[in-house]
Amino acid sequence: MKRKLKAALLAVALLGFGVQTPLSAASAKQAEPSASKKSQVKASNKKPVRSTVASGKSSRSVAGKAQRNKTASAGVAKKAHVARQSSKKLARHAALTDMDPGRLALYSASVLVIDQSNGHVMVEKQPDMVVPIASISKLMTAMVVLDARLDLQEVIAIGDEDVDGLKGTRSRLPVGTTMTREAAMLLALMSSENRAAHALGRHYPGGMPAFVQAMNRKAQALGMYNSRFEEPTGLSSNNVSTAHDLARMVAAAARYPEIRHFSTTAEAKIELKGRIREFRNTNALVRNDNWEIGVSKTGYISEAGRCLVMQARVADKPVVIVLLDSQGKMTRVGDANRIKRWMESASLAAERSPA
Protein backbone atom coordinates (compact mmCIF):
# COMPACT_ATOMS: atom_id res chain seq x y z
CA MET A 1 0.00 0.00 0.00
CA LYS A 2 2.80 2.39 0.92
CA ARG A 3 4.65 1.60 -2.27
CA LYS A 4 1.54 2.40 -4.33
CA LEU A 5 1.11 5.76 -2.48
CA LYS A 6 4.77 6.73 -3.12
CA ALA A 7 4.39 5.85 -6.77
CA ALA A 8 1.27 8.00 -7.03
CA LEU A 9 3.01 10.97 -5.38
CA LEU A 10 5.98 10.62 -7.72
CA ALA A 11 3.67 10.60 -10.71
CA VAL A 12 1.92 13.74 -9.51
CA ALA A 13 5.27 15.46 -8.99
CA LEU A 14 6.41 14.61 -12.49
CA LEU A 15 3.15 15.86 -13.93
CA GLY A 16 3.54 19.08 -11.96
CA PHE A 17 7.07 19.57 -13.33
CA GLY A 18 5.81 19.04 -16.86
CA VAL A 19 3.17 21.82 -16.59
CA GLN A 20 5.34 24.18 -14.49
CA THR A 21 5.57 26.87 -17.19
CA PRO A 22 1.85 27.21 -17.97
CA LEU A 23 0.95 27.08 -14.30
CA SER A 24 3.44 29.87 -13.54
CA ALA A 25 1.99 31.97 -16.32
CA ALA A 26 -1.49 31.36 -14.98
CA SER A 27 -0.37 32.42 -11.51
CA ALA A 28 1.18 35.60 -12.93
CA LYS A 29 -2.00 36.45 -14.72
CA GLN A 30 -4.07 35.81 -11.60
CA ALA A 31 -1.81 38.21 -9.68
CA GLU A 32 -2.66 41.08 -12.01
CA PRO A 33 -5.25 43.58 -10.68
CA SER A 34 -8.76 42.98 -12.01
CA ALA A 35 -11.99 44.90 -12.03
CA SER A 36 -13.41 42.63 -9.36
CA LYS A 37 -12.72 39.43 -7.44
CA LYS A 38 -15.50 37.72 -9.36
CA SER A 39 -13.93 38.35 -12.77
CA GLN A 40 -10.56 37.12 -11.43
CA VAL A 41 -12.12 33.79 -10.37
CA LYS A 42 -13.76 33.35 -13.79
CA ALA A 43 -10.47 34.01 -15.56
CA SER A 44 -8.78 31.33 -13.43
CA ASN A 45 -11.51 28.79 -14.12
CA LYS A 46 -11.25 29.22 -17.89
CA LYS A 47 -7.49 28.57 -17.77
CA PRO A 48 -6.69 30.66 -20.91
CA VAL A 49 -2.97 30.03 -20.49
CA ARG A 50 -3.33 26.21 -20.76
CA SER A 51 -5.40 26.68 -23.90
CA THR A 52 -2.74 28.91 -25.42
CA VAL A 53 0.04 26.45 -24.70
CA ALA A 54 -1.94 23.62 -26.24
CA SER A 55 -2.69 25.70 -29.38
CA GLY A 56 -0.46 26.38 -32.34
CA LYS A 57 2.16 29.11 -32.98
CA SER A 58 -0.42 31.72 -34.06
CA SER A 59 -2.46 31.38 -30.88
CA ARG A 60 0.66 31.73 -28.72
CA SER A 61 1.64 34.91 -30.58
CA VAL A 62 -1.77 36.57 -30.15
CA ALA A 63 -1.99 35.62 -26.50
CA GLY A 64 1.57 36.79 -25.85
CA LYS A 65 0.89 40.14 -27.50
CA ALA A 66 -2.27 40.62 -25.45
CA GLN A 67 -0.33 39.70 -22.32
CA ARG A 68 2.40 42.23 -23.14
CA ASN A 69 -0.18 44.95 -23.82
CA LYS A 70 -1.83 44.30 -20.49
CA THR A 71 1.51 44.35 -18.71
CA ALA A 72 2.49 47.60 -20.43
CA SER A 73 -0.86 49.19 -19.56
CA ALA A 74 -0.46 48.13 -15.96
CA GLY A 75 3.04 49.63 -15.94
CA VAL A 76 1.83 52.95 -17.34
CA ALA A 77 -1.01 53.07 -14.84
CA LYS A 78 1.39 52.34 -12.00
CA LYS A 79 3.79 55.10 -13.14
CA ALA A 80 0.90 57.57 -13.40
CA HIS A 81 -0.24 56.65 -9.90
CA VAL A 82 3.29 57.10 -8.53
CA ALA A 83 3.57 60.46 -10.31
CA ARG A 84 0.28 61.64 -8.80
CA GLN A 85 1.36 60.56 -5.33
CA SER A 86 4.73 62.27 -5.75
CA SER A 87 3.01 65.44 -6.90
CA LYS A 88 0.78 65.41 -3.84
CA LYS A 89 3.76 64.89 -1.55
CA LEU A 90 5.67 67.74 -3.21
CA ALA A 91 2.68 70.08 -2.94
CA ARG A 92 2.22 69.20 0.72
CA HIS A 93 5.94 69.68 1.39
CA ALA A 94 5.88 73.08 -0.31
CA ALA A 95 2.96 74.22 1.84
CA LEU A 96 4.72 73.13 5.03
CA THR A 97 7.90 74.84 3.86
CA ASP A 98 5.99 78.08 3.39
CA MET A 99 4.86 77.82 6.99
CA ASP A 100 8.40 77.44 8.30
CA PRO A 101 9.47 80.83 9.73
CA GLY A 102 13.08 79.73 9.52
CA ARG A 103 12.90 80.07 5.75
CA LEU A 104 11.82 83.72 5.91
CA ALA A 105 14.45 86.01 4.45
CA LEU A 106 14.37 88.87 6.96
CA TYR A 107 17.07 91.52 6.88
CA SER A 108 16.42 93.31 10.17
CA ALA A 109 19.02 92.40 12.80
CA SER A 110 16.41 91.77 15.50
CA VAL A 111 12.89 90.52 14.79
CA LEU A 112 9.91 89.39 16.83
CA VAL A 113 6.36 88.54 15.79
CA ILE A 114 3.88 87.55 18.50
CA ASP A 115 0.31 86.30 18.11
CA GLN A 116 -1.57 88.40 20.67
CA SER A 117 -4.48 85.97 20.85
CA ASN A 118 -2.37 83.31 22.56
CA GLY A 119 1.06 84.87 23.19
CA HIS A 120 2.69 82.45 20.75
CA VAL A 121 6.00 83.60 19.25
CA MET A 122 5.61 83.15 15.51
CA VAL A 123 8.94 84.57 14.32
CA GLU A 124 12.03 85.54 16.25
CA LYS A 125 15.56 86.59 15.41
CA GLN A 126 17.86 87.77 18.18
CA PRO A 127 14.84 89.01 20.20
CA ASP A 128 16.86 89.63 23.38
CA MET A 129 19.61 91.73 21.85
CA VAL A 130 19.81 95.10 23.66
CA VAL A 131 19.99 97.84 21.03
CA PRO A 132 19.23 101.56 20.63
CA ILE A 133 15.60 102.05 19.64
CA ALA A 134 15.56 105.63 18.29
CA SER A 135 12.10 107.17 17.89
CA ILE A 136 10.30 104.01 18.99
CA SER A 137 10.86 105.77 22.35
CA LYS A 138 8.03 108.15 21.47
CA LEU A 139 5.44 105.48 22.23
CA MET A 140 6.64 105.52 25.84
CA THR A 141 6.60 109.32 25.78
CA ALA A 142 2.95 109.33 24.74
CA MET A 143 1.94 106.76 27.39
CA VAL A 144 3.60 108.74 30.18
CA VAL A 145 1.80 111.94 29.11
CA LEU A 146 -1.55 110.17 28.92
CA ASP A 147 -1.03 108.39 32.25
CA ALA A 148 -0.54 111.79 33.90
CA ARG A 149 -3.98 112.86 32.59
CA LEU A 150 -2.63 116.22 31.49
CA ASP A 151 -4.91 118.61 29.63
CA LEU A 152 -4.49 117.74 25.95
CA GLN A 153 -5.93 121.11 24.92
CA GLU A 154 -3.36 123.09 26.91
CA VAL A 155 -1.12 125.16 24.64
CA ILE A 156 2.60 124.47 24.88
CA ALA A 157 5.48 126.17 23.08
CA ILE A 158 8.60 124.97 21.27
CA GLY A 159 11.63 126.46 23.02
CA ASP A 160 15.37 126.55 22.48
CA GLU A 161 15.70 123.59 24.83
CA ASP A 162 13.75 121.47 22.32
CA VAL A 163 16.25 121.96 19.50
CA ASP A 164 18.24 118.80 18.76
CA GLY A 165 21.74 119.25 20.14
CA LEU A 166 22.67 115.55 19.76
CA LYS A 167 22.25 114.78 16.07
CA GLY A 168 21.52 118.20 14.66
CA THR A 169 18.31 117.02 13.02
CA ARG A 170 16.01 119.47 11.33
CA SER A 171 12.44 120.25 12.30
CA ARG A 172 9.44 121.93 10.73
CA LEU A 173 8.60 123.44 14.10
CA PRO A 174 10.54 126.70 14.57
CA VAL A 175 11.34 127.92 18.07
CA GLY A 176 8.38 129.93 19.34
CA THR A 177 5.78 127.71 17.65
CA THR A 178 2.78 127.08 19.87
CA MET A 179 0.31 124.21 19.70
CA THR A 180 -1.91 122.14 21.90
CA ARG A 181 -0.46 119.19 23.78
CA GLU A 182 -2.72 117.01 21.62
CA ALA A 183 -1.22 118.42 18.40
CA ALA A 184 2.31 117.91 19.77
CA MET A 185 1.50 114.26 20.53
CA LEU A 186 0.04 113.77 17.06
CA LEU A 187 3.16 115.16 15.40
CA ALA A 188 5.46 113.15 17.66
CA LEU A 189 3.71 109.85 16.88
CA MET A 190 2.71 110.41 13.26
CA SER A 191 5.62 112.42 11.83
CA SER A 192 8.18 111.61 14.55
CA GLU A 193 8.73 115.31 15.27
CA ASN A 194 11.55 115.42 17.80
CA ARG A 195 10.87 118.95 19.00
CA ALA A 196 7.23 118.09 19.67
CA ALA A 197 8.23 115.01 21.70
CA HIS A 198 10.85 116.94 23.66
CA ALA A 199 8.37 119.70 24.42
CA LEU A 200 5.92 117.11 25.80
CA GLY A 201 8.56 115.93 28.26
CA ARG A 202 9.67 119.44 29.17
CA HIS A 203 6.09 120.54 29.97
CA TYR A 204 5.54 117.55 32.27
CA PRO A 205 5.02 118.33 35.97
CA GLY A 206 8.50 118.40 37.47
CA GLY A 207 10.15 119.01 34.10
CA MET A 208 12.38 116.70 32.08
CA PRO A 209 14.02 114.86 35.03
CA ALA A 210 10.60 113.85 36.39
CA PHE A 211 9.46 112.84 32.93
CA VAL A 212 12.44 110.55 32.31
CA GLN A 213 11.94 108.94 35.70
CA ALA A 214 8.32 108.32 34.81
CA MET A 215 9.39 106.71 31.52
CA ASN A 216 11.66 104.24 33.30
CA ARG A 217 9.07 103.49 35.99
CA LYS A 218 6.55 102.71 33.28
CA ALA A 219 9.05 100.42 31.58
CA GLN A 220 9.59 98.48 34.81
CA ALA A 221 5.85 98.25 35.40
CA LEU A 222 5.43 96.71 31.94
CA GLY A 223 8.15 94.15 32.59
CA MET A 224 10.63 95.82 30.23
CA TYR A 225 13.61 94.87 32.37
CA ASN A 226 16.20 95.25 29.61
CA SER A 227 15.12 98.77 28.66
CA ARG A 228 16.37 102.19 29.65
CA PHE A 229 15.28 105.70 28.65
CA GLU A 230 17.36 108.83 28.88
CA GLU A 231 15.13 111.33 27.05
CA PRO A 232 11.74 111.42 25.26
CA THR A 233 12.75 111.62 21.57
CA GLY A 234 15.01 108.63 20.97
CA LEU A 235 17.81 110.78 19.57
CA SER A 236 20.05 109.45 22.32
CA SER A 237 21.60 106.05 21.63
CA ASN A 238 21.26 105.43 25.39
CA ASN A 239 17.56 104.80 24.87
CA VAL A 240 17.84 101.04 24.57
CA SER A 241 15.58 98.00 24.63
CA THR A 242 15.04 94.53 23.17
CA ALA A 243 12.49 93.18 20.72
CA HIS A 244 10.82 91.26 23.56
CA ASP A 245 10.54 94.41 25.70
CA LEU A 246 9.24 96.49 22.81
CA ALA A 247 6.56 93.90 22.06
CA ARG A 248 5.30 94.52 25.59
CA MET A 249 5.41 98.26 25.06
CA VAL A 250 3.53 98.10 21.74
CA ALA A 251 0.85 95.87 23.25
CA ALA A 252 0.45 98.34 26.12
CA ALA A 253 0.35 101.34 23.75
CA ALA A 254 -2.45 99.67 21.79
CA ARG A 255 -4.69 100.08 24.83
CA TYR A 256 -4.62 103.88 24.46
CA PRO A 257 -7.20 105.14 21.90
CA GLU A 258 -5.20 108.35 21.36
CA ILE A 259 -2.02 106.43 20.50
CA ARG A 260 -3.89 104.13 18.17
CA HIS A 261 -5.44 107.08 16.38
CA PHE A 262 -2.44 109.41 16.25
CA SER A 263 0.16 106.80 15.30
CA THR A 264 -1.87 105.48 12.36
CA THR A 265 -3.07 108.83 10.97
CA ALA A 266 -1.84 108.92 7.38
CA GLU A 267 -1.60 112.71 7.14
CA ALA A 268 -2.83 115.82 8.90
CA LYS A 269 -3.04 119.55 8.33
CA ILE A 270 -2.15 121.69 11.32
CA GLU A 271 -2.16 125.45 11.67
CA LEU A 272 1.19 126.73 12.92
CA LYS A 273 1.79 130.47 13.29
CA GLY A 274 -1.19 131.27 11.09
CA ARG A 275 -0.15 128.89 8.30
CA ILE A 276 -1.58 125.50 7.43
CA ARG A 277 1.12 122.87 7.22
CA GLU A 278 0.68 119.31 6.06
CA PHE A 279 2.39 116.42 7.85
CA ARG A 280 2.57 112.78 6.81
CA ASN A 281 3.10 109.50 8.62
CA THR A 282 6.66 108.18 8.53
CA ASN A 283 5.31 104.64 8.02
CA ALA A 284 4.07 104.27 4.43
CA LEU A 285 2.21 101.06 5.36
CA VAL A 286 -0.54 103.02 7.15
CA ARG A 287 -1.54 104.33 3.71
CA ASN A 288 -1.67 100.80 2.29
CA ASP A 289 -5.19 99.38 2.14
CA ASN A 290 -3.80 95.85 2.40
CA TRP A 291 -2.68 96.53 5.96
CA GLU A 292 -4.90 96.79 9.04
CA ILE A 293 -2.64 98.59 11.53
CA GLY A 294 -3.62 99.49 15.09
CA VAL A 295 -0.36 101.04 16.34
CA SER A 296 2.65 102.16 14.34
CA LYS A 297 6.00 103.79 15.05
CA THR A 298 9.17 104.13 13.06
CA GLY A 299 12.61 105.12 14.27
CA TYR A 300 16.05 105.96 12.94
CA ILE A 301 19.43 107.07 14.19
CA SER A 302 22.73 105.74 12.85
CA GLU A 303 23.34 103.64 15.98
CA ALA A 304 19.91 102.02 15.82
CA GLY A 305 19.46 101.57 12.11
CA ARG A 306 15.94 101.76 10.75
CA CYS A 307 13.30 100.41 13.11
CA LEU A 308 9.60 99.68 12.89
CA VAL A 309 7.07 98.41 15.42
CA MET A 310 3.42 97.73 14.76
CA GLN A 311 0.34 96.20 16.24
CA ALA A 312 -1.72 94.91 13.34
CA ARG A 313 -4.20 92.31 12.19
CA VAL A 314 -2.68 89.89 9.71
CA ALA A 315 -4.32 86.72 8.36
CA ASP A 316 -7.14 87.36 10.82
CA LYS A 317 -4.70 87.31 13.77
CA PRO A 318 -3.83 90.22 16.08
CA VAL A 319 -0.05 90.42 16.04
CA VAL A 320 2.78 92.60 17.31
CA ILE A 321 5.66 93.04 14.87
CA VAL A 322 9.04 94.37 15.98
CA LEU A 323 11.81 95.06 13.44
CA LEU A 324 15.05 96.58 14.69
CA ASP A 325 18.29 97.66 13.07
CA SER A 326 17.32 97.40 9.41
CA GLN A 327 20.19 98.82 7.38
CA GLY A 328 18.47 99.50 4.05
CA LYS A 329 16.05 102.36 3.70
CA MET A 330 13.17 100.08 2.66
CA THR A 331 14.31 96.95 4.51
CA ARG A 332 11.94 97.32 7.46
CA VAL A 333 8.94 97.76 5.14
CA GLY A 334 10.12 94.83 3.03
CA ASP A 335 10.48 92.63 6.11
CA ALA A 336 6.99 93.60 7.30
CA ASN A 337 5.51 92.69 3.92
CA ARG A 338 7.40 89.40 3.83
CA ILE A 339 6.04 88.51 7.28
CA LYS A 340 2.54 89.38 6.15
CA ARG A 341 2.75 87.25 2.99
CA TRP A 342 4.20 84.35 4.99
CA MET A 343 1.38 84.52 7.54
CA GLU A 344 -1.28 84.68 4.82
CA SER A 345 0.28 81.75 2.93
CA ALA A 346 0.52 79.70 6.12
CA SER A 347 -3.11 80.45 6.96
CA LEU A 348 -4.23 79.47 3.47
CA ALA A 349 -2.22 76.24 3.57
CA ALA A 350 -3.73 75.38 6.96
CA GLU A 351 -7.24 75.88 5.59
CA ARG A 352 -6.58 73.64 2.60
CA SER A 353 -4.87 70.83 4.50
CA PRO A 354 -7.12 67.85 5.34
CA ALA A 355 -8.28 67.55 8.92
Would you say residue 207 has pLDDT above 90?
yes
Would you say residue 63 has pLDDT above 80?
no
Higher per-residue pLDDT: 28 or 205: 205
One-letter amino acid at 210 equals A
Query: What band does 327 get if pLDDT is binned at 50, 70 and 90?
Result: confident
Contacts by 122-128, CB closer than 8 A, 24 or more apart: 122/319, 122/343, 123/339, 123/342, 124/243, 126/243, 127/242, 127/243, 127/244, 127/322, 128/226, 128/242, 128/243, 128/244
Query: What band does 100 get if pLDDT is binned at 50, 70 and 90?
Result: low
Q: Is 259 in contact with 253 (CB distance < 8 Å)?
A: yes
The whole-model pTM stands at 0.72
Q: Is 319 in contact with 312 (CB distance < 8 Å)?
A: yes
Of the residues 108, 137, 191, 192, which is catalytic? Answer: 192
Q: Is 325 in contact with 304 (CB distance < 8 Å)?
A: yes
Query: What band does 99 get if pLDDT is binned at 50, 70 and 90?
Result: low
Of the residues 110, 135, 191, 241, which is catalytic? Answer: 135
Of the residues 29, 125, 138, 218, which is catalytic? Answer: 138
Distance set, CA 183 to CA 11, 177, 180 (Å): 112, 12, 5
Residues 6+ apart with CB under 8 A from 67: 29
Judge whether 345 counts as a catalytic residue.
no
* Residues β-bridged to residue 179: 156
Judge whether 34 counts as a catalytic residue.
no
8-29: average pLDDT: 40
Q: Is 285 in contact with 313 (CB distance < 8 Å)?
A: no
Residue 95: what pLDDT? 38
- Mean pLDDT for the chain overall: 80
Q: Is 159 in contact with 200 (CB distance < 8 Å)?
A: no
pLDDT, tens digit (0-9, with 9 covering 90-100), for 1-11: 444 444 444 44
pLDDT, tens digit (0-9, with 9 covering 90-100), for 226-259: 999 999 999 999 999 999 999 999 999 999 999 9
336: closest CA among 11, 37, 108, 23? 108
Residue 346: what pLDDT? 83
274: closest CA among 176, 161, 154? 176
305: closest CA among 227, 218, 243, 232? 243
Judge whether 241 counts as a catalytic residue.
no
List, in order of start, the domains of the chain with CATH numbers. 2-82 (no CATH), 101-352 (3.40.710.10)
Among 101-105, 146-150, 178-182, 208-212, which is the least confidently predicted range?
101-105
How far apart are alpha carbons 248 and 310 in whole angstroms?
A: 11
